[in-house]
Each structure stands twice: as structure tokens, then as C-alpha cells.
Copies of this chain bind each other. A is one copy, B any other.
Amino acid sequence: MAKATNHDVYFVPGLHRGLKVLEILGAAETPMSLSEIARAMGLSRSSAFRLVYTLRQMEFIREAEQANAFTLGARVLNLGFAYLNQQPIAEIARPILASLRDETGVSTHLSVLEGDDVLYLVSHQARSGYVSNMRTGTRTQAYASAIGWCLLGAKDDNTLAVFAQRQSWHPFTEHTPTDPDSLTARVKQARDDGFVISRGFREPGGSSVAVPVRNNSGAIIACVNLSGPDSGFDFDRMESFYLPKTQEAALHISRALGYQGS
């Protein structure tokens, strides 16, 4: 009996668990000992030993200063950046968003939908004041931010409904949608307008402008956004200045991807 999950016949558990070790070490605040890893994985120490042994030999993990404790090694960086360099959109967007940051003075980002999350691919921090905690590689729940609504516009109504069903709603601020209906309303609004301007939706006191990026067939594949504290935005110029600048950048990127519209 037992037989727990009955993993597919083709599954290679050694690989699965090794990658999980990497993720656990990635999430850890401090280096972990072999035993800690074994416990966190729900594995025997002997199995963990073999995984750690292999990973260390491959230099994907390394011992920390304190002996018998392990951290991620630099080799995982290569993987992460190999991924980034393979996303042509990131290459294209980087200089455009840098200019946008310089023109507007607030932080600029490019993000895509990855599963149910918003994933930040490019991020340029405002040159002064407030530092956003959104950096390349950051993930946030898509349902809870202007960027998310903008990106979710890519989904058709049915897919969107299914997406909404599986969310666990957490009210980040008083404006966060907390049920499928209010979310779909937001998304449809974003789709109709072609942009989202938000004020304190994701974080109290934080505002943002989001505009979709489209590919050659006109589908939404990414989202450009400005974000910053209310104090950094001149709210009166939101529609007259920040929005058009952002739209211009988004269009610039879309064109570079073969988008024919305007």
C-alpha cells in the first residue's frame, strides 16, 4: 500500500528532489546544514547526502563559511540569466524603459504573465527617493495589481473566469478585488481603456500606470508600467504626461516585436 502519489512512470525523482533542494536553499535566509535540508525535504539524511554531494560537486551549491552548511552557488546565476537573455522582449525593452524612467523620474518595469503570477523581467529604479521592491525576477499575484489587470486582458473571458475561480483573495489594500466579479470588471475595464491607472491598489500610497505590450498578432504579451509613491507622481499630470509617455514606450516595444497597430 502506501504508494503515496504514484508518480508517473517517466518521472526521475533524483532530478526532482535535487531541484527542490536548490529551491529550498534559495528560499532560505541562512545557509542550511545537511540535516536541515533533509528535514525540509522530508527525506532521510542519507538521501539528502547524495543530493547535496552531487550538487556540490557540480558547484550548484557550495559550503558556506561555517563548515557543513550550504548555500546556492554562483552557477545558478547563469541559468537565471540565460533565461533572461533568451527573452528577446527583455533586451528590446531595457533601453526603452531606461529612457522612460529618466523622462518621468519614477520606476519603470516590464512584466509578463507567468502562470497566475506577474513576473518582472526588466526593472529600472527611480533615481531618487523611494525604492520599489519589485525587481527582475519578482513575482506578485496577478489579480491584485494594475499590472496584473493589464496582463490578464490577454485571457479570453472563459479562461479569465477559471483563473478567477482559483485565486485565494487577499485584500492587500481597500481597493484590492476580493471576488471574481470585481476582478473581471477591472480586467475588462483595462482591456477597453487600453491602460490602467491605479492609486493605492497594491500598496497603500503607491500609484502606478500600466499599458499593455502587443506582439505582431496584436495579442497582449507583456505590460509596461510606471510605479512610485504618490509623492513621486504628480497626479494632475497623470493623464496628460505619465500615461502618454508610458503608451509611447509600450508602443515602441510592441512595434519592435512586429506589432502593426498603433
A contact residues vs B (CB 8 Å cutoff): 8, 10-19, 22-23, 25-27, 49-51, 53-55, 57-60, 71-74, 76-84, 86, 95, 98, 102, 114-115, 119, 125, 127, 131, 135-139
Contact = CB atoms under 8 A, between A and B. Distances in A.
Nearest to A18: B15
Given A74-B119, A119-B77, A53 B83 contact: no
A25 B125 CA distance: 30
Contacts of A16: 54, 58
Contact of A125 (B74, B76, B98, B138): B98
B78 A23 contact: yes
Nearest to A84: B77
A163 to B, nearest CB: 17
B14 A12 contact: yes
A223 B26 CA distance: 25
Given A60-B19, A127-B102, A11 B78 contact: no
Contacts of A86: 26, 71-72
B10 A49 contact: yes
Given A79-B72, A80-B81, A55 B15 contact: yes
A79 B22 contact: yes
B12 A54 contact: yes
